[in-house]
Amino acid sequence: METLRSVRSAAAWPWISTVARLGLAAVWLIAGGLKVGDLAASARAVNAYQLMSYDAAKVVGAIQPFLEIALGLLLLIGLATRLTAAISALLMVVFIAGIVSAWARGLQIDCGCFSAGGALAEGKEAAYGLDILRDLGFLALAGILVWRPHTRFSLDGLLMGDAR
């Protein structure tokens, strides 16, 4: 009985990891795609956190959308899945820390994850708790892929001789 459970679990994990890989790929592609058209807005969103100089925020804001798109594409095709997931996890931890920092300092900003970001209009409240929960979910997807990077329909699988 225990052996059957182990076989089923082993068969399910590549599919679970595939869903995690494609879900996280979509997150990065959407987030980066929404920012890449307006790098100045991306820089303003980074600057709103007040964690670095404006010049540094401009550089980070200019690089971030391209990094997100690159991570999304690598995950979409399933190339270097474990490494890409580890970088994704690290970025999620940085994003969560940034949101926690903004919340702790009483800043009222839009996180800029899927929008132009920046300061919120007078009287609007930031939804930091929801932003953190969402990013923890994305961190969990990355964690699954770091732990179990073998997925279906991936370039990694083809390169390793697994045509599934």
Tens-digit pLDDT profile for residues 99-144: 999 999 999 999 888 887 888 888 888 999 999 999 999 999 999 9
Give the pLDDT of residue 9: 74
Residue 76 lies in a domain: yes
Residue 84 lies in a domain: yes
Residue 95 lies in a domain: yes
Residue 10 lies in a domain: no
Residue 6 lies in a domain: no
Residue 91 lies in a domain: yes
Range of the domain at 113: 15-154
Residue 135 lies in a domain: yes
Residues 6+ apart with CB under 8 A from 136: 92, 96
Residue 159 lies in a domain: no
Residue 110 pairs in a beta bridge with: 118
136 touches 129 (CB < 8 A)? no
The total domain count for the chain is 1
Q: Give the whole-angstrom CA distance, residue 25 versus residue 69.
A: 9
Q: Give this prediction's pTM.
A: 0.91
CA-nearest of 157, 158, 155, 161 to 76 is: 155
The pLDDT-based confidence of 1 (bands split at 50, 70, 90) is: low
